[in-house]
Amino acid sequence: MFNKLHSTLVQQAPGFLRFPVKLVPASVQQKVMLETLKRVFHEALDDGEFEFLENRWLEVHVRDIDLKSFISFVDDKLVVRSDIENADVRFSGDINDLILIAARKEDPDTLFFQRRLLIEGDTELGLEVKNLMDSVDLDSLPSALRQALFTLADFVQKGLQSTPNVNEAQYAHKI
């Protein structure tokens, strides 16, 4: 019973989040995204590892909650906007998969080949973004952020694992 509730919550959470996300002004979403990125990538920013993104745009699209952020590096500063027409590269996926990738509970390449993570546009730029993400030392994150990420990812992973597949559910129903 608890596993089914857990699974349902993980599967339905994006639908519940979609409306509140739309209510948050774009300026607030951008500020939260920018501050989070600065914390996560503080070492890479200090080391100048974002220069490959200079005046180029990365779109991050969380499909199931319809959240889009455009990220660039302009005048030696990380920039987040919501009103860019065309990005050079686009990463899109569902929120649960992106959480699992962020916590390194899922491999982005695996999700890419399963069509759960889409990377479109400049593939060389996409590879540089992926390599930068892989270079983040999760142990260097602020402890509260790291713990929140791991707790959320564990919750999502267990909720997805306890989801019976269609064939199992049909078989169980016939018995």
Flag whether 170 is in a domain.
Answer: no
Number of separate domains in the chain: 1
Task: Give me the residues paired with residue 77 across strands.
Answer: 74
Question: Which residues, at least 6 apart from 21, have a Cβ–Cβ distance to it below 8 Å?
Answer: 29, 65, 66, 67
- Give pLDDT, residue 29: 94
Instruction: Considering only residues 169 and 15, tell me which one the structure prediction assigns the higher pLDDT.
Output: 15
- pLDDT, one tens digit per residue, over 95-104 is 999 999 999 9
Compute the radius of gyration of the chain from its Cα atoms: 18
- Give pLDDT, residue 168: 45
Flag whether 8 is in a domain.
Answer: yes
- The CA-atom distances, in angstroms, between 77 and each of 12, 121, 141 are 37, 23, 20
Q: Which residues constitute the domain of residue 127?
A: 1-161
Q: Model-level pTM? A: 0.85
Q: Tell me whether strands 89-93 and 58-62 are parallel, antiparallel or unpaired.
A: parallel
Flag whether 171 is in a domain.
Answer: no
pLDDT at 2 over 50: yes
Flag whether 172 is in a domain.
Answer: no
Flag whether 2 is in a domain.
Answer: yes
Nearest to 99 by CA among 81, 117, 121: 117
- pLDDT, one tens digit per residue, over 110-140 is 999 999 999 999 999 999 999 999 888 899 8
Flag whether 26 is in a domain.
Answer: yes
Q: How confident is the prediction for the chain on average, in pLDDT?
A: 89
Catalogue the E-assigned strands of 4-85: 58-62, 67-74, 77-81
pLDDT at 166 over 80: no
Flag whether 43 is in a domain.
Answer: yes
Q: Can you give the CATH number for the domain in which 53 is found?
A: 3.30.1050.10
Question: Which residues, at least 6 apart from 159, have a Cβ–Cβ distance to it below 8 Å?
Answer: 6, 7, 9, 10, 11
How many residues does this entry show for the chain? 175
- pLDDT, one tens digit per residue, over 26-69 is 999 999 999 999 999 999 999 999 999 999 999 999 999 999 99
pLDDT at 162 over 50: yes
Flag whether 126 is in a domain.
Answer: yes
- Give pLDDT, residue 175: 43
